[in-house]
Structure formats: C-alpha cells, structure tokens
Structure 1
C-alpha cells in the first residue's frame, strides 16, 4: 500500500473533487497541502452536493481524518462559515475529524482588502491577473516576509500585540502609499480574538501527527488545489496563484518527507479550461468552445466565473507530468466530447517560425505561440456512465490511447460523469 498525491495537471478545475472523494474511501487521512479558499470543488454524495473551498474532502466521509497542512493559508472566518454550512447539511466537524497545522498562516481582512485594491488598480492599467480577491496572495507575501500571524498565535494573545504591530508597520505603509485609510491595531486584535475560540480546538502539530500515523500504516491522501499551470514557479507567470501547486509541495506543505508521498495522480480533463486572465493556446472562441462550456457546466465553484474552453493540450500536460513526477492520470469529463464530428489535440506550438514541444516560460512568448494540432475522428455514441472499457465507443478508446501516448503517462482512472461510481478503474493508486 502507498500514499497518494492528487494534483491538477492543467489550470485547475479538472474535476479533482469527484476523484478525491472516490479515493478518500480508501484513505484514512486526507491532507490539504496548499492554497486557500480561492479554490473549490463540489462533492455529490447520495444526491447531496457539498461545496468545499478550504476543508479537505475527507470531512464529509465518516471515520476519516481531514488535515489542513502548514502550506495552506487560512481565512478563519471562511473556515468557520464552511464548518457551519456543513453542520447545517448534517456533517458535524469536530477535532475528531479535522486537524489544522499550528504553523499555518492566517488570512485577515486587511489581506482581502489589499487584494481587491490591487486588482482594481490593475484593471485600470491593463495588468489585471484575475485573482479571487480573497487575500490569498497578500497572506503568502506576509508569510514569506516573516510577519504573518499564524494559527498558534491565537493561543497566546499576550504576545500577539507585538506581532500585529509588525504586520501593520508593513500594511499601513502600503495603504498610505495607495491612498487608503490605515488599519487600527485594535481592529486586528478584535478580529483575531473573535475567531480564536472556534479555531483553536482543531490546532495540532500536523507534521508529528502525520509521521506517527504513517508509521502505523495509515493510508494518506494528499489533496492539492488549483492546477500545475497555476504554480507560482512552473505556471503561466504572472497569471498564476501564489503558492506551489505541484506534487512536491505535498511534502513541504504537510511536513512529511518526499519519500512518504508515493503515487502521484494527475487529474486531467479530456479538454482544456481555465478561469481568469492569461495565455491559453488552444482556447476556442467559437461554437465548439461554447458547446464544451455548456455541456461541461464550466463555471467556477468558488466565483461562478465562466471558464474559458479549448481543445486538449497534450504539450501542457506533458510538462505537468514532468514537473510533478506523475505516475498516472485520472482522465475526467470524457463524456463532454460525445457527439463531436472531430477532435483536435495540441501536440506542440509554433513560435517565430519554429516548432517547439513545450510552453516557454516567457510571458511574451506564451502570448505568441500558436498550437500545432492533430485531428482525430469523434464518436456519436454516449460515454455517459461507462464503467468498463467495453462500454466505450472504439473512437473514444482511441482518443484515450492517443492522450496517453502524447503525455507520456498512463490513464489510471477514467471518469464518465459527475457521479462518483461512473469511473473506469485501471489502476488503484493506493495499491500500485
């Protein structure tokens, strides 16, 4: 048996929620290792939808331990609201099924405000990134700047004033420069004091907890947010998120060593989507793009923003396979392609008259590349609900095999509808 890391291999929104939920039945512990409540996914269990943004998927499964690792930035108000919302749906969250790393960074109101101020200014200057305005980036900045307030600080309100002073020295200087009113020391103290009682019962030394559980033989599922092409280092910078989204972050963001990670499962949509600004070589601004968006219900779980849609980009996913060390992929939303006469797959790009096999790191070059396509015959039969290879049309199987060959990784799972049981299992990652 092995541990499993789940990462998105594109720009996020690949359908990780269903796959993580499917895997969580086989896991003992589900660990969220990066990001914040800027990412979200929907779980459908026995006809009930649960929308999660911050809490790991394991919280909706009885007998599972959900863990928020140190790599996550936590808005305590969003955390409490999500806990209360699940409680209203009959899912009780207690320290028995949720633990939060004591050294995780908190998102405060001043982070959300700064995020919005910057995005508004960027909109006016044409440099908008398309953030969710939830304070994720500014919170990570404070973490790296060594002035963050962390979960453990809520337990020692006596030492908090000096830390708040240090934080405000930075933020109020920024706000003055931006023509905004300063934040008062007392306002931040009141904000932190108000949430301490709800958050602290879940606090734990997560690296130690996970190490002990690993030694006992527990199966651990590491759950990432967003996707590889939104990674702060390996993504389409600057149109990226503020954290590392690749599989290596599962170790750093949880406190477990890389040797404990095991199987790396890349969740991969059978076409391509992205939300927000930034390059998208295979984007379709035509009736096929509209078809994919409508058939695939392509709207963001957190923001409700319409996703941009395009053909499958094998060159991008091939990069993700390398950056993550992906063992196998879970191919999702194959059914959305049902009925199309032909399908295209991007296998590389043209840049300045030269064909290249990867997306360059340069922002200008990313905006200039043109996709190189191969064309495959589509299929008219439905793949919805298929649970074995024999249920799939021959052309659908051919498409899947072509994807495997082009990205250099096998399909471990194939998803054919939003329902969790409509999944073709080729390899169980926990048993590989």
Structure 2
C-alpha cells in the first residue's frame, strides 16, 4: 500500500508540520484527518515561516493535492483567511479541497467554548477557545452542520434555523448572554458558501481511489497521543482521536491501506494547557529549554510547559499507534546540557509503572524515575549525517530507540525543512 501517517507522540507541538512538509515533496496527496484550527503547524522553507492551523502542512508543494478530511471541524472564516494569506504571497492554492462530510465550526460554537471555560473557573480544561469541543459535541448529538450542507442553500438555511434555536436557548438561559441573529449569520455564510463551493469534494471516494491506484497519500494528524479523547490524560484532552486509528475514522480509509506510521518525538517534553505533566521542570533548565526551543504556542502564543523526555509517554504512543518509524525533533536544543535525564518509569506510591495509568489522580502523584545520560556541548545544527553526531548524542538517540522499541528514521536538527539527518527511508518511490 501507499498510505503514510504522521502523528504526534506526546502532547502536540512535536514538529509534525515540518515533517509533513519534508515528506510532502514525495507524495501525491496530503490529508488532514482530525482536529481543527486549535492546531498550529509551522513550516519554515528557505527562511520563510508559514504557520498553518487548518490547511494540511503539505500545502507548499503544488503537486500534492491537499484535503481537509471528514474528521476535521472547519472554521470557514479561518480557512478562507489562511488561503488568502498564501495567495497574497503568490502561492497557488488551487490544490486545496475539503470533504463534504467535515463539520462546520459556527460562531456560536466559539462563544459556547469561551463561556464553558469561564464557568469552570479553576477546573477549566485549558482549551484554545476556538469552538472545537462544542462543534464535535454537536456532531455526536447529531445536530451539527456539515460542509456538504452548503451545497444546497435551502438545506443549510433549514439546519441553521433548527440548531440556532437550540444554541440561543443555551446562551440565553444558561449564560444570560445575547442570542445570535439568524439573518445576520445567514448573510455571513452566503459569502462563505460562494468561496468554498469549488473546493468541496467527496474526499472518501477520491482518497480511496488514489490508494487503490498506488498513489502516495500522507495522512496528517493534529495534537498528539496524550491528548487523544480515549487514551490521553482525560479530561485534559482534545475532542478527537489524533492517533493512527483516527485516520480510518477521520479520512474514511481501511487500516489495511496504511503502510507506515511515523511518530514525531520532541527530544524533550512540552505541554500547553492544564493537566498532569510528570517530568515538568520549574527551574532554570526548564526556562532554558523554553527559550532555546522558542516554546510558545503557534496558535495561542502561550508559553509551553517544559520538561525532560518522558519515555512512558512515547512508549504509550508507540503501542496505541503501532508506530513503524520515529522522527526525533529539536535535539539541537539539548546541546550544552551536561546531563540529560530520561524518564523511564513512574513511581506511584512505591510501585513502578512503565505505562500511563488511566487514573488522573495516580498520574498526578507520579514521581519520574530517571536514567541520566551524559550530554554534549557541540552545536549540531549543521550536521547532516548520523556519523557526524557527537557520541553522547548518538547514545541518547539509541536509548530512545531501545525504550520505544521503534527505529529512528529521521533526526531534525533545526527548524528549516533542510535541517535533517536521514537514517532510513520512510517514503520510497
């Protein structure tokens, strides 16, 4: 088969966007399969930075047809703005399409996201307040509005009227806020409809046909395993499944059609928002990592929580995703540290865990069990072959492979698409 998947193995922000861009040069399709504009994928090519939220990270490669899949929730205003930004830079966007099955994030979803977070106070989830959760909730309670509903304007008007009545009742009665005006919302979406109609396709048929014809399809996830709605640190998770299993549901393909599943691992750990973080650092080392790694959210600008590499987390991702390959990113940020602790297990009430307990209370009580490796001083950002890496850097990488039981195929040593060391081919044409 010729289906390839890129997923995050930690809490997101591992550098998936860069790797999808790198691999995107070799593929015919890039398909985003879940999440929404709560994601922030950064691509740096020829020194120019592109931050994407909804668009697949292969968008800079004209030969790759970029599809926003059925499992994505789409804020149409954000999507059109992202497209405009690219077009203003002279980038052709005619290869961007979206599934008729994807759900639309409506203005009332964003408002409800904000109101729900405010109401929770100290118990807030730490969402990006982009309306992602409320949109997925409407999807599963079967009152959502899909991209395909824009095709028949009468159907869209009817669905908007029905759902808006429910949402306005919530906004007024639960939160004592002003309701949305139906005619005003309808007018906003009239313009959106005209702009999106040429891009709406039956992506399930097209993607499966491409795979059957042995074209190369790269599936891109947002967020990561520890934010998975089923297997992350619930309830401090996203509202979808950013795992390889999510590809099947979110893109409409059989697991038999997935050839390689590539897990992106940041050489240390970061997290945004609330929730447990066993290896989190509150000292000078944590601050150094944050500043050297520019660990601030591409979507929100929030400073990320930083800590040492947690291999319980990576092992968890390897198991639930069935990873075939690892890509290690940002290892250049660790240059200069004399010692590099790797978390190899959790001590919870005197019991050693080499997995992630489902109980959030247990994870909060967990103490990291560290294995300490020697660091290196050399600047490795210009290194382009594995043999040239410092010996201690090689040992660090080797230990990751051993603990994850998965081979490393690419090592990223800088932010640009050229800053890579290739060890094993992931996509071979």
Take 1:243 and 1:385, find their aligned partners in 2: how far apart are those partners?
A: 38
The residue correspondences of 1:11-30 to structure 2 (distance < 5 A) are 11-30=11-30
Q: Which residue does the alignment assign to 1:146?
A: 142
Q: Which residue does the alignment assign to 2:37?
A: 37
Whether the 8 Å CA contact 2:386–2:423 is kept in 1: the answer is no
Q: Which residue does the alignment assign to 2:124?
A: 128
**Which of the residues 277, 280, 297 maps onto 2:277?**
280
Compute the TM-score of the two structures, normalised by the length of structure 1.
0.97
5+ residue gaps in structure 1? none
What SS does structure 2 have at the residue aligned with 1:198?
helix
Q: Which residue does the alignment assign to 2:211?
A: 214
The residue correspondences of 1:341-356 to structure 2 (distance < 5 A) are 341-356=338-353
**Which of the residues 172, 183, 191 maps onto 1:194?**
191
Question: Moved runs in structure 1, 4+ residues, more than 6 A?
Answer: none
Displacement of 1:119 after TM fit?
Answer: 1.2
Displacement of 1:188 after TM fit?
Answer: 3.0
**Which of the residues 372, 376, 382 maps onto 1:385?**
382
What SS does structure 1 have at the residue aligned with 2:153?
coil
Q: Which residue does the alignment assign to 1:160?
A: 156
Displacement of 1:211 after TM fit?
Answer: 1.6
Take 2:424 and 2:241, find their aligned partners in 1: how far apart are those partners?
A: 27
Take 1:334 and 1:160, find their aligned partners in 2: how far apart are those partners?
A: 49
Displacement of 1:169 after TM fit?
Answer: 3.6
1:234 equivalenced with 2:205 (yes/no): no
Whether the 8 Å CA contact 1:69–1:100 is kept in 2: the answer is yes
Take 1:374 and 1:160, find their aligned partners in 2: how far apart are those partners?
A: 57
Q: Which residue does the alignment assign to 2:174?
A: 177
Displacement of 1:148 after TM fit?
Answer: 0.7
- Count of residue pairs the alignment pairs up: 428
Compute the TM-score of the two structures, normalised by the length of structure 2.
0.97
Displacement of 1:307 after TM fit?
Answer: 0.6
5+ residue gaps in structure 2? none
The residue correspondences of 1:235-314 to structure 2 (distance < 5 A) are 235-314=232-311
Q: Provide Cα deviations, 1:38-94, integer angstroms capped at 9, x if missing partner.
A: 101111112221111100122211222101100000000000000001111111212
Take 2:339 and 2:93, find their aligned partners in 1: how far apart are those partners?
A: 47
Take 2:404 and 2:59, find their aligned partners in 1: how far apart are those partners?
A: 33
Take 2:155 and 2:390, find their aligned partners in 1: how far apart are those partners?
A: 64
Whether the 8 Å CA contact 2:34–2:221 is kept in 1: the answer is yes
Q: Which residue does the alignment assign to 2:89?
A: 89
Q: Provide Cα deviations, 1:312-331, integer angstroms capped at 9, x if missing partner.
A: 00111000000101111100
Please report the RMSD computed on the Cα atoms of aligned residues, expressed in angstroms. Answer: 1.3
Displacement of 1:102 after TM fit?
Answer: 0.5
What SS does structure 1 have at the residue aligned with 2:22?
helix
Take 2:151 and 2:416, find their aligned partners in 1: how far apart are those partners?
A: 42
The residue correspondences of 1:349-368 to structure 2 (distance < 5 A) are 349-368=346-365
